[in-house]
Structures are given as structure tokens and as C-alpha cells.
């Protein structure tokens, strides 16, 4: 089975930040613990409280996720 097909993607809003981990409230109201992906760390993309992000979640642990995209203000206005 291809592991990329198993990944669930959600949009959410960062509600709390501490030491590299973030609490993200997903669109469906669920709150998860998430960390930034390696490429976000490598490119020094900063995430703050109130930012809209895209999170990948494994179907095996629905309480943790990886932040793969931070939407900018311009992107939010277009949606």
C-alpha cells in the first residue's frame, strides 16, 4: 500500500505555540498537536498563533500531525 495515499490533509488554525510544537484547531473543530515539516524548518518559515496552516495526519494516530503549509495573508484573501 502506498503510504502517501493514506495521509489525511486538513486546514486549521494555530491556537497555541510552544517549543517547536503547535496546537492546531482543524476545520472540523478537533484540536491536534502538530510540528513543522523539515522543509519548513530548513527554509526558516515561521509559524505563529492565528496562522492558517495545512496539516498532514496519519490515519493511525489522529491526535498528531505535521504542518506542511502556512497560508499567507494574500492566499487567505483569495480563498
The CA distances from residue 21 to 4, 37, 75, 78, in Å, are 23, 11, 24, 28
Domain spans, the chain: 3-78
What is the assigned CATH class of domain 3-78? mainly beta
pLDDT at 77: 57
pLDDT category of residue 74 using cuts at 50, 70 and 90:
low
For 22-73, give the DSSP string. EEEEETTS-EEEEEE-HHHHHTT----TT-EEEEEE-TT-TTEEEEEEE--H
pLDDT tens per residue across span 20-67: 999 999 999 999 999 999 999 999 999 999 999 999 999 999 999 999
pLDDT of 2 above 70:
no
Q: Quote the pTM value.
A: 0.85
Predicted confidence band of residue 76 (pLDDT cuts 50, 70, 90): low
Say if residue 78's pLDDT is above 80. Answer: no
Amino acid at each position: 500500500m502506498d503510504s502517501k495515499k493514506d495521509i489525511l490533509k486538513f486546514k486549521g488554525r494555530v491556537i497555541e505555540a510552544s517549543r517547536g510544537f503547535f496546537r492546531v484547531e482543524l476545520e472540523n473543530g478537533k484540536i491536534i498537536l502538530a510540528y513543522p515539516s523539515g522543509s519548513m524548518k530548513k527554509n526558516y518559515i515561521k509559524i505563529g498563533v492565528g496562522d492558517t496552516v495545512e496539516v498532514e495526519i496519519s490515519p493511525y494516530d489522529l491526535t498528531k500531525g505535521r504542518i506542511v503549509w502556512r497560508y499567507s495573508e494574500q492566499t487567505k484573501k483569495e480563498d
